[in-house]
């Protein structure tokens, strides 16, 4: 928990968009790992194993009847923003908040590809192992997500993505 707890909490939050739900899911993941730690075969890192457990719990939550509302919180903006002067931080938050909002509005398959690739900086291979699907599927999801984001965002926000090849 000390080593991977904060990472997992943020990771789960990206899926469920609610801090209290993310904390509950994190607790479920940690308890499940504690009860079944003997099943961990060390074929991957513990972080990857816990991330996969978290993804499965998030998918379960998103499919459940309890998940009736989706809330975008300013906490996501605070999490991503860096410590700069107040004016620059505000400008950065305004520009990034629209992009973050658009990312969070994507369907879950596209959102998770964008988050894992750009925010978590995982490789295509790592993402494909984590999501248990082929690398080409991940590339397709990223391409489609970028196309959807391009239609929704201002050209100044899009500058970082436009020249990148997937």
Top-level class of domain 5-63: mainly alpha
Sequence ranges of the domains in the chain: 5-63, 77-158
Question: Which token pair is 106?
Answer: 């994507």
- Secondary structure (DSSP) of 31-62: HHHHHHGGG---SS-HHHHHHHHHHHHHHHHH
pTM score? 0.51
Per residue in 142-156, pLDDT (tens digit) is: 999 888 888 877 655
CA 158/CA 96 separation, integer angstroms? 11
Per residue in 91-122, pLDDT (tens digit) is: 556 556 677 778 888 888 888 888 888 877 78
Q: Could you tell me the fold of the domain covering 77-158? A: Arc Repressor Mutant, subunit A (1.10.10)
Cα torsion through 83, 22, 51, 31, rounded to 10: 130
């Amino acid at each position: 928990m000390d080593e991977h707890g904060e990472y997992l909490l943020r990771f789960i939050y990206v899926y469920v968009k609610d801090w209290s739900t993310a904390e509950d899911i994190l607790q479920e993941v940690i308890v499940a790992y504690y009860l079944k730690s003997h099943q961990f075969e060390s074929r991957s890192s513990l972080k990857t194993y816990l991330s996969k457990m978290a993804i499965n719990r998030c998918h379960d939550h998103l499919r459940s009847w309890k998940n009736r509302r989706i809330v975008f919180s300013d906490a996501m903006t605070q999490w991503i923003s860096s410590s700069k002067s107040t004016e620059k931080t505000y400008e950065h938050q305004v520009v990034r908040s629209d992009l973050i909002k658009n990312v969070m509005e994507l369907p879950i398959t596209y959102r998770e590809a964008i988050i894992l690739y750009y925010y978590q900086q995982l490789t295509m291979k790592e993402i494909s192992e984590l999501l248990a699907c082929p690398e080409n599927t991940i590339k397709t999801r990223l391409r489609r997500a970028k196309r959807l984001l391009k239609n929704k965002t201002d050209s100044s926000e899009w500058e970082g993505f436009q020249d990148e090849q997937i």
